[in-house]
Amino acid sequence: MTNWNDLTAPDAGRIEALARQAMAALPAEFAGHAQDIAVQVAEFPPEDVLDELQIDDPFDLTGLYDGIPLTEKSVSDQPGQPDIIWLYRRPLLDEWAARGNVTLGELVGHVVTHEMAHHFGWSDDDIARIDRWWE
């Protein structure tokens, strides 16, 4: 029998490690681009992000790509902050527990892949046409 008192939820470091594993597992033609993307893990998305995306419940956002998609980058762009994939720990853990049929690594990997698709210039509609995960 599991002693639940001895267990703790995966921390930000564990979530980041799972994200890095998912990025390393991308097909070769995508993996090179993934190396240039920073991964940040926060407990929840900030209020201004939720407001901008018109999301009322912070548990509804598990990840976010923050950067300029490759299809829009230009050599004349001034280098600034790196592109970032944000992962939101509490919403990820909540979805993982609610699903009950995927590992945390599978869920984080899926969110990272979704956000990487945005890095490559895909819209949510483009992704939804080939990815039925969220249905």
Report the 10 Å Cβ neighbour count for 47: 9
d(CA 90, CA 113): 19
pLDDT digits (tens, 9 = 90+) for 74-125: 766 666 778 999 999 999 999 999 998 999 999 999 999 889 888 888 777 7
* Domains recognised in the chain with CATH numbers: 9-70+81-130 (3.30.2010.20)
Q: How high is the pLDDT of residue 85?
A: 95
Query: Which residues, listed in sequence order, are joined to residue 88 by a DSSP beta bridge?
Result: 42
Q: How high is the pLDDT of residue 76?
A: 65
d(CA 61, CA 93): 12
pLDDT surpasses 90 at 6:
no
* Averaged pLDDT score across all residues of the chain: 86
